[in-house]
């Protein structure tokens, strides 16, 4: 449908146009509220990591985003949550996911933030593998202590 046809379509149907604007505004408000809630939950999970597992508090908090966003690394598109250089992305479906799943994903990505603050970017497969193992271990401890559940994870080893 071309731009002129869309404009004509809505111009002939003012109530439909108003409804479309209200839906768009409602979505924007929902994502703004969800973004604030996501930031609060993310910061809470740093406190959990600190109190339950002895991790340090971060020097600075990462920015939390509901993805995908334009600045999200393309490698993040394969995951429901992703961390890169001071930013955590949760893809929009995670907002509708079970709160336990969302919190454990935030905890996992927060471990990556602490790793990045301490050592910078992972430079090779072995470093990345070690970081993933540590993040999944922290996630497993949290889930088993708080929900009495077990997460089955397979992290493929590095191949030469």
Is residue 68 reached through a cis peptide bond, with omega within 30 degrees of 0 on the bond before it?
yes
86 near 101, Cβ under 8 Å? Answer: no
132, 135, 68, 147: which is closest to 107 by C-alpha?
Answer: 135
Count of residues in the chain = 160
pLDDT tens, 49-103?
999 999 999 999 999 998 888 999 998 888 889 999 999 999 888 877 788 999 9
Instruction: Answer left, alpha or beta for residue 77, where phi above 0 means left and psi between -120 and 50 means alpha.
Output: alpha
pLDDT tens, 118-141?
999 999 999 999 999 999 999 999
- HSE-CB for 129 with a 13 A CA cutoff: 9
2, 88, 83, 79: which is closest to 43 by C-alpha?
Answer: 88
User: 74: which 2 tokens?
Assistant: 């393309």
Question: What average pLDDT does the structure give for the chain?
Answer: 82
């Amino acid at each position: 449908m071309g731009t002129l046809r869309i404009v004509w379509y809505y111009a002939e149907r003012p109530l439909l146009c108003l409804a479309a604007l209200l839906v768009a505004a409602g979505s924007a408000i929902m994502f703004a509220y969800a973004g604030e809630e996501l930031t609060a939950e993310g910061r809470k999970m740093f406190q959990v990591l600190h109190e339950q597992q002895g991790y340090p508090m971060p020097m600075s908090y990462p920015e939390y985003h509901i993805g995908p966003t334009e600045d999200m690394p393309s490698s993040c598109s394969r995951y429901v949550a992703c961390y890169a250089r001071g930013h955590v992305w949760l893809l929009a479906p995670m907002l509708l996911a079970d709160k336990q799943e969302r919190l454990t994903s935030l905890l996992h990505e927060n471990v990556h933030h602490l790793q990045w603050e301490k050592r910078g970017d992972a430079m090779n497969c072995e470093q990345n593998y070690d970081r993933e193992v540590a993040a999944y271990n922290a996630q497993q401890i949290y889930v088993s202590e708080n929900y009495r559940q077990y997460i089955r994870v397979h992290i493929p080893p590095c191949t030469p």
